[in-house]
């Protein structure tokens, strides 16, 4: 049953009701295209009190009508780099001095959005509420590196996608320390002995809710496409790699995924030199708990067995706003709490899952932007993301890169002149190619073994001749959603490009093939036909022009994954006892 049946068709046009098993929802019909909107719909129980740092539970039924006119509160944000990101973006767009000052003022004095631990809601936009409409569903996963962002950002709030006969869903999930804290005491609370990844489990719960309810909004639960950008693009790949998400979606689009493939392990020391549980213990000490609040030096944190229920009670009694503020003064190396490899929810590094062809086999669009680094490199400062906190001095850069790239070092240095001495622009370009482009290329090659894969490269740049941002990180998002605005303005050529991208994305969601009538042909990527679609004012397919340098980064990734795999196998191997 879709729209509430007791209402006449005339009433439903002005007051769209939807009856769920949990209760009655009232939405709105908005816009020139008359799209139905239901915003702030709970997809899980509030993760408060004893539910903090636990897997999400289904929402409780309610009495009466839940009015769904506004998005729900957003998750607590880290927001320590937002000011710098926006400053780099505004400076790089080449705006006039007056417009730049206006945008800076709007950003600075914008009213703060409500942040709340009770954030597990989603919003739905649909052109029809009839279950018989059986419309494809596109589920947007917001970016922000798992520490910032929400599903209700202005760039996502358009009607271009649902106007193509799509049910569009976006949602919030727990972020940062409230979404991904790992601690041995938390692991003692569940049969798998796991902790962390609560925010990732929220994503899976949202997809389960969609499977059970989206037909009532005119959607087809057997035709669900997940898509997202940056951290959301990474989440798409993690969902493809997680056995817990199998069957919950049928197509995937990953935009500029920042895949932290070897960063965090629950109980193994990754490249950060410590386990997620050790980081969690250090944060607990930073909050003044456990051992009376001693040193946060990770080298001084020792494992002990058993769960301390009193400690968990104290942790769960701390106000969420206190935890959100306390993390901002935590060791900067570890304050970005992210999904971790735990052997169960996320069994192993995502890239390793793909190269083993163990991911969910669904059609995939993946790609990145030409100049991702223009607004992100300042937060990394090194061509190799893994070493952003132990980057070498300029005098040691050459030796460091020779160790990283081995036999490929000469070709690597030739491609980035000056990088051996730490030239900033060369390092930034290498970061751009390695962290974004090469990983998309790596995933495309691996996924193409069993999936249909379409690779893209977004190249549109700002209009101003003074611009320096290029096709920056997240520049494609407003094109995909058809949402121009003051910071991301569009001229006529841009609007045409946006229309084409909306059609490519929605046609892919409908059929698994992005090509539409009279479109520039977008052929699948394969080992023998390594091509991508270049998205600019002129849309065209070409060979991957950066394939040679991407291959160098891919060989380094293979070596890194081999080391991780060997380490895991060594630890898992039984100890043999020989007779003396």
Residue 367: its H or E element = strand 364-369
E strand spans, 52-191: 65-67, 121-126, 135-141, 167-171
Distance CA 21, CA 19 (A): 7
Contact 464, 456 (CB under 8 A): no
Let me know if 230 is a catalytic residue.
yes
d(CA 327, CA 78): 8
Can you name the residues that pair with 173 across neighbouring β-strands?
Answer: none
DSSP summary character for residue 164: G
| Helix (H) / strand (E) containing 364 | strand 364-369
**Separation of alpha carbons 409 and 398, rounded Å:** 9
Closest residue by Cα to residue 232 from 145, 301, 292: 145
H-type alpha helices, 125-174: none
The two structure tokens encoding residue 207 = 């997809």
Q: For the stretch 287-319, what's the b/e string if a residue is b when 16 or more beta carbons lie within 10 angstroms of its beta carbon?
A: bebbeeeeebebeebeeeeeebeeebeebeeee
**Neighbour order of strands in the sheet with 24-26:** 17-19, 24-26, 65-67
Residue keyed to tokens 């049953």: 1
Q: Which helix (H) or strand (E) holds 28?
A: strand 28-30
How far apart, in whole angstroms, are the C-alpha atoms of residue 170 and residue 8?
29
Other Cβ atoms within 10 Å of 20 Cβ, number: 18
| Distance from C-alpha of 360 to C-alpha of 354, rounded to nearest angstrom | 9
Dihedral of CA atoms 285, 288, 292, 294 in degrees, nearest 10, equals 50
Closest CA to 195 of 116, 272, 284: 284
Catalytic residue among 123, 230, 242, 498: 230
Distance of alpha carbon 379 from alpha carbon 128, whole angstroms = 43
Q: Who's near 534: CB < 8 A, 6+ residues apart? A: 456, 457, 459, 540, 541, 542
Q: Which residues of 515-542 are buried (b: 16+ CB within 10 A; e: fewer)?
A: bbeeeeebebbeeeebbbbbbeeebeee
**Which residues, other chains included, contact 428 with Cβ-Cβ below 8 Å and sequence gap of 6+?**
373, 374, 377, 383
Catalytic residues: 230
């Amino acid at each position: 049953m879709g729209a509430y049946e007791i209402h006449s068709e005339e009433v439903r046009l002005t007051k769209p009701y939807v009856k769920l098993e949990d209760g009655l929802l009232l939405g709105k019909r908005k816009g020139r295209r008359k799209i139905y909107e239901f915003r702030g719909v709970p997809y899980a129980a509030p993760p408060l009190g004893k539910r903090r740092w636990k897997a999400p539970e289904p929402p409780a039924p309610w009495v009466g009508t839940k009015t769904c006119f506004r998005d729900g509160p957003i998750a607590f944000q880290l927001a320590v780099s937002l000011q710098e990101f926006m400053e780099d973006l505004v400076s790089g767009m080449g705006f006039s001095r007056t417009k730049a000052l206006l945008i800076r003022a709007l950003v600075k004095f914008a009213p703060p959005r409500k942040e709340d631990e009770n954030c597990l809601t989603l919003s739905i936009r649909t052109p029809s509420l009839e279950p018989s409409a059986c419309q494809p569903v596109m589920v947007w996963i917001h970016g922000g590196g798992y520490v910032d962002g929400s599903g209700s950002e202005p760039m996502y709030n358009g009607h271009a996608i649902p106007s193509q006969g799509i049910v569009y869903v976006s949602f919030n999930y727990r972020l940062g320390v409230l979404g991904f804290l790992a601690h041995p005491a938390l692991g003692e609370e569940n049969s798998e002995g796991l902790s962390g990844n609560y925010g990732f489990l929220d994503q899976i719960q949202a997809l389960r809710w969609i499977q059970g309810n989206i037909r009532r909004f005119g959607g087809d639960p057997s035709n669900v496409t997940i898509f997202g950008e940056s951290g959301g693009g990474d989440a798409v790949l993690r969902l493809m790699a997680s056995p817990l998400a199998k069957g919950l979606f049928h197509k995937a689009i990953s935009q500029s995924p920042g895949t932290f493939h070897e960063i965090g392990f629950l109980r193994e020391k990754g490249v950060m030199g410590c386990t997620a549980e050790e980081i969690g213990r250090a944060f607990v000490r930073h909050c003044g708990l456990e051992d009376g609040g001693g040193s946060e030096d990770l080298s001084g944190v020792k494992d002990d067995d058993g769960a301390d229920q009193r400690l968990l009670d104290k942790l769960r009694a701390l106000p969420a706003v206190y935890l959100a503020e306390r993390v901002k003064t935590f060791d900067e190396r570890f304050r970005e709490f992210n999904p971790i490899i735990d052997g169960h929810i996320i069994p192993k590094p995502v890239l390793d899952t793909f190269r083993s062809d163990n991911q969910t086999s669904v059609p995939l669009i993946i790609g990145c932007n030409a100049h991702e680094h223009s607004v992100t490199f300042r937060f990394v400062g090194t061509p190799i993301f893994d070493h952003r906190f132990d980057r070498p001095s300029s005098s040691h850069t050459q030796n460091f890169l020779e160790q990283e790239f081995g036999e490929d070092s000469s070709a690597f240095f030739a491609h980035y002149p000056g990088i051996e001495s730490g030239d900033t622009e060369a390092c930034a370009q290498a970061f751009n190619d390695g962290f974004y482009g090469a990983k998309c290329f790596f995933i495309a090659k691996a996924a193409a073994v069993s999936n249909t894969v379409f690779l893209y490269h977004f190249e549109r740049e700002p209009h101003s001749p003074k611009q320096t941002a290029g096709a920056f990180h997240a520049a494609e998002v407003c094109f995909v959603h058809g949402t121009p605005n003051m910071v991301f303005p569009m001229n006529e050529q841009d609007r045409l490009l946006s229309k084409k991208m909306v059609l490519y994305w929605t046609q892919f969601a409908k059929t698994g093939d992005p090509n539409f009538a009279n479109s520039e042909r977008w052929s699948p990527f394969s080992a023998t036909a390594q091509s991508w679609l270049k998205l600019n004012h002129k849309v065209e397919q070409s060979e991957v022009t950066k394939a040679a340098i991407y291959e160098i980064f891919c060989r380094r990734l293979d070596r890194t994954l081999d080391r991780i795999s060997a380490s895991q196998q060594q630890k898992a191997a039984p100890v043999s006892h020989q007779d003396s």
